[in-house]
Structure 1
Amino acid sequence: MPVDYSKWDALELSDDSDIEVHPNVDKRSFIRAKQNQIHMERQQRRHQIETLKYERQVNDGLMNRISSLLAALKRHAADAETRNPGEVAFQAVMESAGNPADDKVPERPPGVHANVEQPPSYTKMMASLLDQVNKALDEKKPENRYTAMMEEIEDHLRKVQELQSDLLKKLAELEKVESSKITSDSIHTGFDSSHITKSQPSAPGEKKVDDSKVELLNPNFSLTKPDESKATPSSEPDDDDEVQTSPDAHKFAQIKASDYRQSHAFITAHPHILTEKETDGILVLAFDAQLEGKDDFAQQCVHQALLLQYCRALGRDGVAMFFKRITTKGHQAQEVFYKDVRDTYQRIKNRAKEINAQRAAEGGSAGGVEQIQLHAVEPGTEIKIRIPPENSEDEGEKNARKIFEGFSDEMKKALESGSLDKVNEVLGKMKVEDAEELVGLFGEAGVLSLEEQIIDGTTEEGQKKIKELEEQAASESYADDPE
């Protein structure tokens, strides 16, 4: 890729050493002379630019005065035909004088026309211009002196305008030459300031905040009690929490679908029910009712839930708008709303039917309801049944016997038989909660105890049992070994 060096063409160096001169000319002297020439031309050019800008500023003020005088003369042109033209012209001159505060010529910049006196005021300039006009009129002796005066003044205005145009062209040329060269004067300091945010001094008596505190990624972690820090519950709400139906939503769901008057009154009295959460709660009621086979109530809940949804979706005046449309006979909104209710209820009905069928299938394959059964977990142990003695003097035995007497007759017979299978059979007929409570009473009464199983190694059955226990222990030790 070629390198573009054209951007350095505008660089002007007054002390450029890369220059060739005649052998008879001293190179250093030539460079100094060249440097002085460049600096002098640069100063003259800038001085000329300032002078032209000042002259244009003065000429602009003079042009405004001449234009005002011409406008005043043209306004009084009709009066000059009936009155003395000299008096009319004098009146026009006085009207065009303008504000005395603006009569002074702008101050000259330093060095501009330093050898010339300060320009006269605009009033003196206009007086000099009128003298020239009168002299020209005296020489020409026109028939209509007033009209000739306006023509002479217009001619002077045209000359000033041409002068301004020439000054503008010359100024543009000089500024173009000035901007075409990159000099040391073109270098400007960009950002020569800095700002440091200092801490505000604390007020007397105010405690100083310690900023050296380290921010922790897990602020709940404790080195002394790591388990407690892990178990600290989060205070943030869980988005997956089960939808709960509020009491007001329950009441609203009980309103008949056809009773729009009562529904409207309830919403008016309880406007907070118009939320998505309440709608979801009523839909949950509909789903539960459908699971229980309450078709009519489920459909009613769907109707009430969608009623809230439509009122909320229609905006600020959605309640009044919905009930007005739904109670108008033949309104299109009725068909849309009722169709939505039917479709939503049908989806709930189908889903509830699937769930009930799935529950029935799972119940049949599992062989019934969940049960509590007692079994020894550790190999080589068995559960022994001990009946508390009936006539014991020990307080512990008395309490245990009292608990035993509180069992049902069926359970007491199963325990007295000493068979764990019979006990499990009775427990299997009970509800899970009742069975768990009964097992807890077994522990309080000391009815069940875990003992090591005695195996007779002389018999074939005993040897087989011992072999099974050894294989089981070996497999467990192998599973615990990480290697």
Structure 2
Amino acid sequence: MPLNYDKWANLELSDDSDIEVHPNVDKKSFIKWKQQDIHHKREERRSTLKKLEIERGINAVLLPRVQAIRDGVHEHGPQVFSAEVARLGNTPSPDKPLTDAPGQPTYDEMMQNLFIQVWEKARVFIDDSEKLAAELISQLTKTEESVLHRNSAIADEIAAIEVEEGQKITSEGIRTGFDSSHVNKIGQEENKSQQQHYQPSQKSLEVLNPDAATNTPANTANNTADDLPSLTPSMATLARIPLRQYKALVELIAADKTLLSDVTTDALFVEAFNAGMEKKTTHALQCVNAGLFIQYCNKLGKDGLSLFMQRLTQAREAEAVFMKDVQDTHARIMERSAVLAEQSSSTNNPQEKEQIQLMSEGDTAITFDVPEGPAPENIILEGDAKLQQLDSETVKQWLNQRWSIFEAFDGELKQALSSNSLDNVNKYLANLPVSSAENIVKDLDTAGILNFSSSEIRDETGERIARKGRCPTTGESPLGYVCPVSGYPTHVDEAAWRADATHEHYHEYAQRLREVNEDEHDLRSGRDMTEFELPPTQDLEHTVNLKSWEMLFYTRNFNSIDSLRSQRHLSRLLSYPMTVAGVLHELGPYADRAGGRVSGGGERSLLALRHTLHKQPTPYSPPTPPVRIFIPGARAESQLPPSVWMQLAHLFPHARLHVYFVGPEVNAEETILPFGVPGWSTTVNSHLTLSAIQASWEEVHDAFYPYDPFTDIFFNFHPGLGFPSMLPSSHRPSEGLGQRNGEVVPFREFTPQIDAEWATAFDKMLSTKCPIVCTAFGHADIKRDVDALLNSKQITQEWETVIEPGNNVFSSQRWEVAEFDTRVMIKSNWGLWAVRGRRYDIQNVEMED
């Protein structure tokens, strides 16, 4: 009989099709484009078919509901329609079609939209119920006919698509034609016994009085949920085959195909556990080897045995992976079986007894606060005890009770508690009966000897404010009343708070306090702080805008800042490096004279620095010297992570920066050269180096000579030049420092810090002729500092303004609370101003005779 090859004509295209194309068209490209077109049309047909199926399913749900409402209106009148519309509006069902479309409406929403359209056409007959009912029935009937007609059209479209799909031969149309199976009569008896050994678990009912049940005795069905498969003779033979004897495994499995099942793997693993508990390591390893061999074969399908053997024999990598799995699984089984064996032995040991032991969880530590003796005769309450308004007699009574409980313990327990060792206390408790140990633990808790401490971060701002703050109404301390608006303690009692709450200024600072409190809780909430995921190096082709925080976050590709709270967090973190960047960058807020705030001489100083920072190197140009940024009097800025300061370096991709933190409050332990004082230095990368020096500026000033206005600049963050000096030799103010109606409270006689602490250092900085940038906490602070510099009697160097005093674009957006007075709040780096040592320009003037 001749063969018919007409069906192969349905193959649209193949890679080796003998087709002719235009000489200007590449044949491979033509075939590729044709294949892409075929796949696109195929996906388009499938998408259309899926949409039609969904539409037909929706119609199948909605059509019976429309018919039911129509029949209800026909029998009972328009009130049926009105009742259904009211139900759809008041108690809609959440059921909707299972589609991936966003905003997929529910079935009730579809019905509601349909009924609205029907009502718009029938409402003209609202005064005549019969005509209204007839119109509703007519509109609903039209809807039914429209849906039926659409269903017919859908059926035709689906049939056409299926016919078109059936004409094409694709890999998805391949079906298994002929297959073979294997029946092993020899292993049938073993298969029966294996099935008898492993039966699915059955459920039984537990009754209160089993003897009263006549039809079903109490023990008719046992719960076999914990029953495990046992080894058959064939499985036992598999478990005795040594490692890497794959041929023997294949021969045994080929003789009994029933071994290729998950039951065999489970039974072999159970046998491995049993062998591990008996410390039969070799037998357990052979069981694991056979079990995993069966498991791998099953995963590869019906021909898994031959495929797996082929891979094992032809690729050493495959055998290495398999043997590693065997060794790892065997190790886990041996480890777990050892634990089970130990637990089993302890359970069966009649000499083992129950114990009470003190255990800590997580990061909690258990310590013991042993009393030193009875309460003293006279007790003076301070701090938290005074804050809680405790009675001294009550405290004395409790201290004596605590001591008496401790004295009642025996000498061995006292010694264990005094050592503050949890192991020693547990060792003592282990030798006691459970009831006695429980009583001792209870006494330890009652006496306050047993303490649980945690290393988790806690917000203690409120506690510090309560201890240090003074009531704005009475001036007393400590603060015992928590403001209901802010959540912080602000007054000594409720009466003082009510007296203060009538003033307008209270609501302003109370709302700021609430903002601070919420920010602190957000930082400790444990949420994922995505705003602190700082961006990496900026693409050279992308320009950064430093005119505001918002423009910086946007042009530097920070994560989306979705709330003002997140912006406050991030601005507080980046305020110090971005203040430096704002002054130095050519696109910063102080470029182009900054609306008159930058003086002529100041512009020349900043242009010199910007020339060095933004100079693009050429292949043959010498290396650019590093720009040195000195921060005298450094405090919090020296504790920032290097990744934060790297945000400054990212803005100057062609420059090298070296930041020096200098000040007595810098945290350092090792001595560094050439300064001979404690400090540290770290090179973050080729563009940034950070160094810290624990010394005053006048001690190390000479070590940095020579100074160059093209590469050097000073930043004094919150120097407090006009703040009263706290040195013993200084005159201190006789009244408090504050602000009233936007003006600084006048002082009597005091010595400002610029004369007592900063005079020598500031003189040395002015002598370098390099810019000195200072920041301040607020308007009063910046005014006080500038006035102090103007009126200083200790500054000998002449100076001139570089940047006029004013707001800092990159100030922290978060308020900081003064713990001594909750009405006083500041923002880090709120204001900024800059000066330099005066420079005289010499001009040649020709004199006429």
TM-score (norm 2): 0.20
Higher helix residue share: 1
The structure number with the bigger radius of gyration is: 1
- Normalising by structure 1, what TM-score? 0.34
- Higher relative CO (Cα under 8 Å, sequence separation at least 6) belongs to 1
